[in-house]
Structures are given as C-alpha cells and as structure tokens.
A and B are shown apart, each in its own frame.
Chain A
Amino acid sequence: MNWKLAFNIAVTHLVSKRRQSIIAMLGVTFGISMFIIMISFMTGVNQFTEDMAMDNTPHVRIYKPIELEDKKIISIDNPEKGNDWHVLLHQRPKNELPKIKNGMMLMQQIESMPEVLGVAPQISSQVFFNNGPVQIPGTINGIDVKKQKELFALDKKMDYGDLDDLLKGGDVIIIGKGLAKKTNVTLGDRVSVTTPEGNNLTLKIVGIFSYGIVSMDESRCYATLATVQKILGKDPSYVTDLNIKLKDIDGARAFAANLANQLPEAHVEDWETANASLLAGTAIRNIMTFVVCATLLVVAGFGIYNIMNMNIVNKMKDIAILKATGFQGNDITGIFLLQSLMIGVAGALLGLVIGFFISYLLSITPFPAGEFFRIKTFPVNFNPMHYLTGVMFGFLTTLFAGYFPSKRASKIDPVSIIRG
C-alpha cells in the first residue's frame, strides 16, 4: 500500500479538523504528563528512602551472632542412644567473643572476589556515654575511615567537622547529631565512654554526623578501629563485622547464600532480608504508581477511541469515494491508523515536555522535612527510561484505540453510502 499517500490524506484530515485533533491530542498529553510526574516523584521518593537506608547498609554483612550451643557437653562422653535423650533446662548462651575468626584475612579474600566492590571492617560494641553524671546508652563503631568513606559515604553525612580528623590523632570520635544534643556536647568537647566490661576512656569529639534516621543519630558514634580496640582492650585483629558492598546490588541474595556455605561459623546476611519492610513499602508504592498511570492512559485511550469513531462517522462519504476510486480496505485502515498514531505521538511528546517541566518545578519546590532529613526539596527522579516508557505507552495506547475504528472504516460498504 501507498504509505506516503495515506500519510498525506491523514495529515490533511487532521489539519482540517484542527480543534478536534488538538483536543484528542491533549487527552494523551494529559495522561502522559501525569504519568511522568507521578513516576518521577514516586520513584524519587523510593530512591530517597532507599538511599537513606542503603547508603549506610552493607549489601552483605558478616557477623558473629550470639547463639545457643546446640551440642551439649554431656553428650561428648555419653552420646544419645535409642530412647535416651539429654534434656538441658535453662541453657545460657555461650560466652564467646563476637569476633570473626581471621577477620582481616577473610576481608582480603572477599575483597578479591570479582562481584565485590569493597569490604569495610567494623567493630561494634554497646557503650555508655557520660558527660556529667548521667549515662546515655549507645553504640560505638570502630571503622576503617578510608573504606567507610568510599563504600558508605560517611563523609557526606557530616554536619560539623571532617571525617578525616579521626585519623589525625588518638582518642578522637565523631558522634550522631541526636546524641550530641542529648549529652549537650559540641566539637572539641570531651565525652567519657564506658564499655559493659567497665573499661573507660575519655574521647574528644571532632565531628558530628546525621543520617536523618532518628534512632541512629541518637545512639551512634564512630572512631577508628584502633581506638575501639583500645577501649575494649582487644588485640589489633579483633573485628566483629565485615560490611560488604557489591557491584550489583541485586546479586546480594545469591552472593550471601554462596558465602554462607563457605563460612559456617559466621552469620551472613543480605540487605534484602535485613530490609524486608522497606522493600515491601517500595513495591507497594511502585504498584500504586503503575495502577494510577495505567488508568490515566486507558482514559486517554478511550478519548482517542471516541474521537476516532466520531471522525469515521463524519468521513463515511469520503471513505466510500476512496473505495469507489480504487482504494483497498488496508489503505483506509492505514489512513485512519496514521491519524490516530500522529495524535498519539504528538500528544505523548508534548506530554513529556510538560511532565518534565512540572517535575522540574517540583524538584525545586522547598520541602519542609524537619531537621533530621537531609533533604531540602521534593525528591524527583529524572530517569530517561521513564520518558521512553511514556512515549511507548502513548504509542501503544493510540495504536490500540485507533485500530478498531480504523478496521471498522475499512469494512464500510461504499454502495450503501453512495446510494444514500
């Protein structure tokens, strides 16, 4: 069939019914621009909450959990036989150091695996902070400053001071914003840290950080590995956690399962398991976004369907004439399908522009998030994929909406129209 001729006829029809064409186009424009705004904002929010949690979350974490010893000492000399059972009441957890065996060597091994971006060692311990007579519970984390910066972007979370100051002297610490407020300390002040075992050390505050997550900002502080080893009275090989960042976050579950097989004595946990509730929230928001967007596009599609149907009723005589002068059924389908697609593509492109513009306005609108959130404007995600999806959706919707009326047009019997 002659597409160029069909295209010319389609364009002439659209231009001569300018108002109707524009209204049909605006239906698509509205649908697509709302789609862009909704999806940009929703994924922006998802990205923001995910980043807030994920910046700080290792993809895979290796630690030594406190657990009950399954083997009973009495079983060593008197193994259970037949119906003889050993029953132990009120068993206590084994007093075992939460240390990962050969932590530093293990770290180097894991770091050399191809999937791994990096491994940051950490020592975590419960401590009490004292500034005056009141004891405030919290946790101290001994970190490798360089790796923490590279893998977890801790330097980006600093409100006051510099993360690198941790390396510039002994007995220095950075503490969370909430904790600083509770203990009423600022940069340069000293705070006394007491471990559950009773060890005590006075540390100087060189920085204050905030994650925007209250529970973390009110209890955490960071020092170097050496400082924490010193407080706890442990040797330099003492590490309680290995925090792994992978190149591909989606491979975390498989990687963790694989690693767990090789490390029977430690516990390996992937981020998906650790953040199940966060992921559920994200999934629900995504579903909502897609349902709303799909509805908008279906409504726009029905608009086009209606207008195309009306258009074809108006053009009955023309269709009969075209058929009488040698146009075949698929020529007629082509003419009306092209009209529908032109409406759809033009509407979708305009929708993208308007959607982008409103998303941009939203992204510079101040967002009163409170002092804990590290965010000043609405989070908006400008992902080119969304724009591509928008055009594809617009194209497909109009293709569908235009197809059935066009098919109907091709079946019009010219005799019944020309005879009147």
Chain B
Amino acid sequence: MTILKADGIVKYFTEPEKFKVLKGVSFEVAKGEFLSIIGKSGCGKSTLLYILSTMDTDYEGNLEIKGENLRGKTQNELAAFRGENLGFVFQFHYLLPEFTALQNVMMPAMKLGKYSNEEIEHRAIEKLKLVGMDEYARKHASKLSGGQQQRVAIARALVNDPAIIMGDEPTGNLDKANSIKVFDILSQLAHDNNQTIITVTHDPDFANGSDRIIEMEDGNIIGTHFPKQGAKQL
C-alpha cells in the first residue's frame, strides 16, 4: 500500500543565484517500509526530505501523503497535518532544553489535543520505554547526553503514532554504540509497528540495514537498491 507519493518534484534555490537543486524527482513509498536516501553532500537529498516533511512548501510537482494532496494547503493546515501524521528526528537532537524528557515527548501530543493529559503522559512513558529512556523521564533535556537526547527525540516523534517518521541523519552526530541503538529502534518500528521510516543518511551501515536505498546525484535519483535481497552493498 502506497503511503507517500512524490511526483516530479522540482526545487530551485534562489540564493546566491538561481540554481535547480531537484530536477523532477518521483518515487513512491509503501506503508511499513524502511527507506534510506543517500548521496553526496549537495545532491539535494536533505532538500527533498524537507519537501516531503511539508515544512518546505516552495517547490513544483505533486506530493501526496496518505492519499491526501498537500499542494496548496496553508501553513497552519500543514502544521496540523504534521502534528498528526509525521514524526521527525533530526541530526542535532533539538529537544527543548528547559523541559524534562517526559515534557518534551508529551508536547506534540498536548498540541494535538486528542487525548487527556493523563493518557498523554502514559503514552509518552510507553514511548520512552520503547527507546529505553523511561528512567530518565524526569530529567531535564539539557542534562542528557547526545545519544540519550536522540532517543528522547525519537520517542517524541512517536508520541502521536504518526504514519511516517522522517529522519535527517538521525545518527549523524552519534558514536557507533548509540548509532546502533537508534537504528535498532527505527527498524523495529518499521517491522513491528508497520510505521514508515524515511531517512537521509551518510552512514553506509545504517543504509545497508534498511529495506530500500534511493541514491541521488545532482538532483536526480540515479539508482534504487534493495540491500536485503542480496543487492550490492554500499
């Protein structure tokens, strides 16, 4: 079942001069798939991810998520859509430093306002357990290590049970041990919870562990690999 469909995505940068970053990218992602996007710096993979994330609206082409066409929606509609359907994990963990780990995880759910506060707290603790961070729930985000913060950030991305979780180099800033932990969590989500994972990564081990790899160069997709089916390893 297709959950995300990108059709002829074209993106220009206007600074410092007009430059075509994405030259008509099209692909589909199935529900429960663990997808990695790889490519050299400047190939446009992060730009593509931010268009898929609905945060960047300045592009040409069509984007459909869960069968909903997202072109022409207002910023506020997109924010609401993100809150309900998308979860993000960034390279620099970006927790709100004044709040505890638990509060950070609860925040998107409280914004969504779908459940009562008690239930949100219960769910948030569940997600923290999933990433092995439940014993740090009451600690301030600024007191946690980088790896711990990234795991809390994943719990935050999960709290609304989004259909798609997007990661911009989620392991880019972590050591080997923490990278493996983060990878295990994400791959478990895809295979056990049937949630879709789309990540941009530089880490070949991370990419080789995913279901499908899309390779990009100069704003185009130049190849698709299925590492688990004995295709070439990166």
Contact = CB atoms under 8 A, between A and B. Distances in A.
Interface of A: 2, 5, 9, 12-13, 15-16, 317-318, 320-331, 414-415, 418-420
B82 A324 contact: yes
B80 A328 contact: yes
Given A322-B107, A328-B76, A418-B94, 13 more contacts: A2-B110, A5-B110, A318-B97, A322-B96, A326-B79, A326-B82, A326-B83, A326-B108, A329-B76, A415-B55, A418-B90, A419-B168, A420-B92
Given A418-B90, A419-B50, A326 B80 contact: yes
B123 to A, nearest CB: 15
A318 B96 contact: yes
Contacts of B88: 324-325
A17 to B, nearest CB: 8
B205 interface: no
A420 B79 CA distance: 20
A12 B79 contact: no
Contact of B55 (A2, A324, A331): A324
Contact of A326 (B46, B95, B97, B112): B112
Nearest to B168: A418
A326 B84 CA distance: 7
B111 interface: yes
A325 B75 CA distance: 13
A5 B111 contact: yes
A321 B82 CA distance: 12
B94 A331 contact: no
B98 interface: yes
A15 B98 CA distance: 9
Main secondary structure of the interface of A (DSSP, over half): helix
A324 B94 CA distance: 11
Q: Which 5 A-B pairs have the closest CB atoms?
A: A326-B83, A325-B108, A16-B98, A328-B79, A328-B76
B53 interface: yes
Interface of B: 46, 50, 53, 55-56, 75-76, 79-80, 82-84, 88, 90, 92, 94-99, 107-108, 110-113, 156, 160, 168
A322 B108 CA distance: 8
A325 B98 contact: no
Given A317-B94, A415-B56, A418-B90, A331 B50 contact: no
A16 B80 CA distance: 28
B113 A2 contact: yes
Contacts of B110: 2, 5
Contact of A329 (B56, B75, B92, B160): B75
Pick the most buried of A5, A325, A328: most chain B CB atoms within 10 A of its CB: A325
A149 B99 CA distance: 70
Given A317-B94, A414-B55, A419-B46, A325 B83 contact: yes
Nearest to B95: A321
Nearest to B160: A326
B55 A323 contact: yes
Contacts of A326: 79-80, 82-84, 108, 111-112, 160
Contacts of A16: 97-98
A389 B75 CA distance: 39
Contacts of A321: 94-96
A355 B98 CA distance: 34
Contacts of B95: 321
15 contacts: A16-B97, A325-B83, A325-B108, A326-B84, A326-B108, A326-B160, A327-B79, A327-B111, A328-B75, A328-B80, A415-B55, A418-B55, A418-B94, A418-B168, A419-B46
Nearest to A330: B76
A2 B168 contact: no
A407 to B, nearest CB: 14
A7 to B, nearest CB: 12
B48 to A, nearest CB: 12
Given A5-B110, A13-B98, A418-B90, A324 B53 contact: yes
B50 A325 contact: no
Contacts of A323: 55, 79
B13 to A, nearest CB: 12
A329 B99 CA distance: 21
A415 B75 CA distance: 13
Contacts of B53: 324
Contacts of B160: 326
A9 to B, nearest CB: 8
Nearest to A419: B46
A15 to B, nearest CB: 8
Contacts of B46: 419
